[in-house]
Structure 1
Amino acid sequence: MNPSLSERPLELINHICSFLDNPKDLLSFSLTSRRICATAIPNHIECRHIRCDVRCVALWNRLADLPWIASQFVSLEIIGRFESVALTRPIIPNYHPLLGIAESESGITTGWQEELREECWSDCIHALAAAVRVMSGLRSFRCIDREESYSMNDAFAALKNCSRLDNIQIVVTPEFDDEDEPYICHSPLWDLSDLRIFSFSCYDMTGTMDLDYINKYTKNMLNMLIHRAPGLEDLQLDLGDSEVDVGELFQHGCWPMLKRLTLASDIVMPEDDTMDRFLNAHTTLEHISIPRLSEVKAVRWMENVPCLRGLSCADPRNLKSAISRHAFKFLEYLALDLSYSSATGNFCLRSLSQITSLRRLTLRGGQSPPGLLAEVARAVPQLERLHFNHYDGWESPTVAKIINDEDGAFSTRVTVLSHFRRLTHLSRFICLDQSPDGSVSNEAAVTELVVQRCATACPVLKYINLPTERRISHTRSWITIERNDDGSYAMWKPTDDSEKAALEVETWGGFFLGAQQSYMSRYLR
């Protein structure tokens, strides 16, 4: 009789565990028998992902000394010490029998002086690089640091030893001055190859960014992407606050498997038919977020991407002809800026009725919220998620008007909402008036009234974003609606933190935000 899996040699069990990258899968596998559990839990389940700041020197040294353990990690995320949100959720092997760091607090080494002494940061980077060199199984490397200026080139150079690496996501803030070029210009990062996922964002926190420096690292980066990343699937670029020409990206880039493309508003679009040729060669694209895409003179590009599911292109003026020719057969998400022309925006909204697959919509600018809401309801009543993003001020009913329904303004909005029978997410369709001291009088009562009326009008509404004027960008404004067994409104409660990530409007379109995922894209903020 053949022995069961749990009776096989430990080497075979360890080998099977090496194919399981997700800790949840490892946990499920470990629960199949006590012997597998005794092997997988202490030796594997904590050896897949690391998220911490660069100062974890003790961890880097232990990994460098234990290459057979270091090779089990598939994901490494380096967080800057000022990224307080990410640092509250570190992932570190504190309970591993050989890697646990008793003197660390929440996985982050304590006791460091806050002064930026060059020798301290240099030691950290060298220790990190030594650890990365032996992490041969690494597939994903993320570095998010928007406040530091130390060079990561030693760590980037060590990535060449990771033969399975195909996912690079970087957010950096290098120093720009007149004496020395920033380290990112000629970084070993641009020598990597065979990437499947690439995200790069560079921020100028001091206002000293030189366009010549930007062009240098941009040229090196594009050379790497064009010539050494033929299997690229996801690409996101944010190259700084200056006008950056990446014409070579569209002229020579050829990635047959490219599915998601996200470019920031600082990317200069080509003026000829280059974009048409590029998209004609990338018919696999499913999600495109390019705020300046509307600057392209030719409009044939929209018909070149038959599988498009998510689109953010700001100006809707070039969408009319494509919609009339039914170019968007599978489009599920659309983000538009109607502030360019109210007349054009209205026509575009009416024509959205021809996109029968549209389920999620984000609108910025345009006419007043009541009028805009009515236009949307007539055009796309099948929407499941709707978000309004007004930058030029809110037409917000006062608390008194909402309670007393003065002028019928609030009732009008609720009546329009009743046309959305499938709506589950509603964001910023109304903004509560706020007093000068930052509070909303009768906030609980007003919230109850608004949520109840909206939940009654939309029979399947589950989440509503009800901000006040001074916190319109905060995710704490999301409210969860509870219903009775018959579907009627029961009560509301603040949305749990565990659900808020899925509610972020910036994720509705399925766009690749890369390392900026936690901070959201600039255009949709």
Structure 2
Amino acid sequence: MKLIDEPIEVLDLVAFFIDDPADLLSLALSARLFADIVIPDHIRFRRLRCKPDVGLFKSLEQRPDIASKLREITICSSLGLANGFKELFIPTPLAGKKLYRSPAPSIISQRTLRKSKSASFRKVLNAVVNPGNQGLPFHGRAVNPDRTSLSPNPRQPGLLNANDGELLLSSLANVILGMGFLRRFCLHISTQPLPGFQNLFETLRRECSALEELHIFLEIPFGNPPYPLDDIVKPMWGFSNLTALFLEIRHPVDPTVPSDYAEEMVGMVLRCKELRDLHLCVARYGEGLIRIPRLLRDGCWDQLRRLSIDGLLCLFEDDSNVVENGAVLSAFYRRHPKLEAIEVNSSSTLFVPGHVDPTSLPNLKDLELKMFAYNKVDELIPIDVCRNLVCLITLTHEVSVQLLKQMVHLRIFGGMVDLDDLAGLADALPNIERLHVRSAVHPGWDKTTPCFRSALLNKYLDPVLRLKKLTHLTGLLVYQTFEFRDFGKKTNAFSRLASSLSRLECVQVRNPHGYEQTLRFIRDEHERCCGFEWEVDDLSNPTDGWGNFFRGFARK
């Protein structure tokens, strides 16, 4: 086994690049053996990315030599990996190159298996993708390596019960005691109300003075009692050195229990004077808008670059007074001249159509419009703002080709368009790099005749093939199921894309189980496609169906 001397990303356990597939099992696919692995001194651990695994953090408590080296922690209950591995590298004898990379469990191609002459390779590979017989934790579906198959739902979330949740938070708090150099902490879980959150955040604030990025996504599903969110927000008051704050809370409402956490949250945010990225979202099921006008009135962050307000948060006292609201918002933008990215969820947040001074946004490059009350972007965005945009994302809005022609700097676009005018869009955006298109009028993908779908696809695909700088394509092919046996045929849509667009890296398709997923092409040194892999979505990816690289806030 070879150990590389580069920083290794820890997932559920420790994983190394290997020569012999049989060594894979010796790395212990469960966290129970994690403490027995000897870590060479030259291995510099930096990042931990995992599902909420109590055993993993119990093991980390016993390994302060590892915990003290960590700089980033990401914990997500909806991580789409059954056994915690992000990627399983499958060696092939093709000129020493790895032809196929796949999440485990995921597709194991017949082509890869044919190239492997070792019967033990098949046996070990089957044990990895189907660890059910090993007594290991596995929540996905068994995979037969002799056929193309995929985990049924890569986004299926997991709900922590009260007992497991308390053990997790307690173990995590104990591990954090030895992480004085932690820079980034991300917790994304769906759970029942747990009192351990207060102790966790107090420990994080007290022990991790160097913390710069804090990402908290907490969802309390229906059927659970409301949680006193003040216990989460109040311990955060000491995080004054944050440069990035991502706080998203979704929970049921108890009208009989008063809560001031919205004001507490705003007060905490105002203390973080060095913020560059700010995302706030609160969704209280069964309740109306949560008004926090203080954020606009008092907010002043000299380095603010990206701002996103979502959920039920409202920044105005009165939505009907659009003239006054536009003036307040323009004044806020003038205090933040470095603002580059805005994510808007409704007319009551970050954009007042027709009443925001375009000169107050001199450096705006990224704009994402979500649930807005306008049907056309042309009626919403001032043309002076449009001309400077590099990234424009619209979730439900139709964008005219005439408007796109004005956006000479646009490199990322996602929105509703008339697919019959896709050729005009290609002419308007010759330098586009990331493209997400949905039909403003349903094009008839629901037809059951394969010949009809193929003809329709080729009609809409031809204009896309003219976009030679394209690196990401999503939306257009989500109704097309990717079949490995068809890949390589000249008439196949994916083969045409891979061969015609040498820069294309990712395309969003429908996997064999009917779910949208990103397919990444693997290219050789001559930029020729020599394989593919299924990509597991980013941990912070929202559930609205958009790829994480299209989120204006997330794009770095």
Q: Contact 1:299/1:318 (CA < 8 Å) preserved in 2? A: no
Bigger share in strand: 2
- Tell me the alpha carbon deviations over residues 133-170 of structure 1, each in whole angstroms, 9 at most, x when there is no partner: 34322222222211343231111111223221222111
Cα drift, residue 375 of structure 1: 3.8
Aligned equivalent of 1:232? 275
Cα drift, residue 261 of structure 1: 1.6
In structure 2, how many angstroms separate the alpha carbons of the residues matched to 1:276 and 1:338?
Answer: 25
Q: Contact 1:311/1:334 (CA < 8 Å) preserved in 2? A: yes
In structure 2, how many angstroms separate the alpha carbons of the residues matched to 1:195 and 1:284?
Answer: 17
Aligned equivalent of 2:191? 147
Higher alpha-carbon Rg: 1
What are the equivalent positions in structure 2 for 1:69-468 lying under 5 Å apart?
A: 71-80=68-77, 83=79, 85=81, 88-89=84-85, 122=166, 124-151=168-195, 152-159=197-204, 160-174=206-220, 181-182=228-229, 184=231, 187-204=234-251, 208-210=252-254, 216-226=260-270, 228-240=271-283, 241=285, 243-270=289-316, 271=319, 272-273=325-326, 274-292=328-346, 296-314=352-370, 315=374, 317=376, 324-325=383-384, 327-328=385-386, 330-337=388-395, 339=397, 345-346=399-400, 349-364=401-416, 366-367=417-418, 369-371=419-421, 373-389=422-438, 393-396=442-445, 398-401=449-452, 405=455, 409-430=456-477, 432=479, 448-454=491-497, 461=504, 463-467=506-510
- Tell me the alpha carbon deviations over residues 218-271 of structure 1, each in whole angstroms, 9 at most, x when there is no partner: 221110111x20001111122125533232222211111011122324333534
Relative distance call for 1:210 and 1:460 in structure 2 (3 A) is same
Relative distance call for 1:446 and 1:389 in structure 2 (3 A) is farther
Listed as ranges, the gaps of 5+ residues in structure 1 are 1-21, 26-40, 92-104, 518-525
Relative distance call for 1:72 and 1:466 in structure 2 (3 A) is closer
- Counterpart AA for 1:286: E
In structure 2, how many angstroms separate the alpha carbons of the residues matched to 1:498 and 1:177?
Answer: 30
Secondary structure of 1:145 counterpart: strand
- Counterpart AA for 1:201: E
- Counterpart AA for 1:384: E
- Counterpart AA for 1:279: Y
- Tell me the alpha carbon deviations over residues 163-210 of structure 1, each in whole angstroms, 9 at most, x when there is no partner: 212221112234897787356466413443222111112133xxx334
Relative distance call for 1:357 and 1:428 in structure 2 (3 A) is same
Cα drift, residue 417 of structure 1: 3.1
Aligned equivalent of 1:96? none
In structure 1, how many angstroms separate the alpha carbons of the residues matched to 2:226 and 2:548?
Answer: 41
In structure 2, how many angstroms separate the alpha carbons of the residues matched to 1:212 and 1:389?
Answer: 43
What are the equivalent positions in structure 2 for 1:505-520 lying under 5 Å apart?
A: 506-509=547-550, 511-513=552-554
Aligned equivalent of 1:55? 54
Q: Contact 1:482/1:492 (CA < 8 Å) preserved in 2? A: yes
Q: Contact 1:283/1:305 (CA < 8 Å) preserved in 2? A: yes
Secondary structure of 1:474 counterpart: strand
- Tell me the alpha carbon deviations over residues 462-517 of structure 1, each in whole angstroms, 9 at most, x when there is no partner: 54434379836222xx26386996x8xx7674335489999996344563349xx9
Relative distance call for 1:332 and 1:70 in structure 2 (3 A) is same
Q: Contact 2:358/2:382 (CA < 8 Å) preserved in 1? A: no
- Counterpart AA for 2:268: M
Relative distance call for 1:185 and 1:169 in structure 2 (3 A) is closer
Cα drift, residue 50 of structure 1: 3.5
Cα drift, residue 383 of structure 1: 1.6
Q: Contact 2:193/2:227 (CA < 8 Å) preserved in 1? A: no
Secondary structure of 2:260 counterpart: helix
Bigger share in helix: 1
- Counterpart AA for 1:256: D
Q: Contact 2:468/2:503 (CA < 8 Å) preserved in 1? A: yes
Q: Contact 1:352/1:380 (CA < 8 Å) preserved in 2? A: yes
Secondary structure of 2:393 counterpart: strand
Q: Contact 2:277/2:304 (CA < 8 Å) preserved in 1? A: yes
Cα drift, residue 303 of structure 1: 3.5
Cα drift, residue 88 of structure 1: 0.7
- Tell me the alpha carbon deviations over residues 305-352 of structure 1, each in whole angstroms, 9 at most, x when there is no partner: 222222112457565685533x3554221112454xx6xx43xx3122
Q: Contact 1:287/1:311 (CA < 8 Å) preserved in 2? A: yes
TM-score of the superposed pair, with normalisation by structure 1: 0.66
2:7 corresponds, among 23, 32, 40, to: 23
Root-mean-square deviation (Å)? 4.6
Relative distance call for 1:450 and 1:262 in structure 2 (3 A) is same
Cα drift, residue 121 of structure 1: 5.2
In structure 2, how many angstroms separate the alpha carbons of the residues matched to 1:500 and 1:129?
Answer: 24
Cα drift, residue 412 of structure 1: 3.6
Secondary structure of 1:303 counterpart: helix
In structure 2, how many angstroms separate the alpha carbons of the residues matched to 1:134 and 1:481?
Answer: 40
Listed as ranges, the gaps of 5+ residues in structure 2 are 1-5, 10-38, 88-130, 138-157, 320-324
In structure 2, how many angstroms separate the alpha carbons of the residues matched to 1:49 and 1:458?
Answer: 34
Q: Contact 1:399/1:441 (CA < 8 Å) preserved in 2? A: no
In structure 1, how many angstroms separate the alpha carbons of the residues matched to 2:159 and 2:390?
Answer: 49
TM-score of the superposed pair, with normalisation by structure 2: 0.63
Q: Contact 1:44/1:72 (CA < 8 Å) preserved in 2? A: no
| Deviates most, 82-91 or 416-425 | 82-91
In structure 2, how many angstroms separate the alpha carbons of the residues matched to 1:351 and 1:117?
Answer: 50
Q: Contact 1:279/1:305 (CA < 8 Å) preserved in 2? A: yes
Relative distance call for 1:288 and 1:119 in structure 2 (3 A) is closer
In structure 2, how many angstroms separate the alpha carbons of the residues matched to 1:192 and 1:334?
Answer: 32
In structure 2, how many angstroms separate the alpha carbons of the residues matched to 1:119 and 1:501?
Answer: 24
Relative distance call for 1:137 and 1:85 in structure 2 (3 A) is same
Secondary structure of 1:200 counterpart: strand
In structure 2, how many angstroms separate the alpha carbons of the residues matched to 1:116 and 1:331?
Answer: 42
Relative distance call for 1:129 and 1:433 in structure 2 (3 A) is closer
In structure 1, how many angstroms separate the alpha carbons of the residues matched to 2:504 and 2:86?
Answer: 34
- Counterpart AA for 1:312: E
Q: Contact 1:320/1:351 (CA < 8 Å) preserved in 2? A: no
- Counterpart AA for 1:260: R
The one of the two structures with greater contact order (alpha-carbon pairs below 8 A, sep at least 6) is 2
Cα drift, residue 424 of structure 1: 3.5
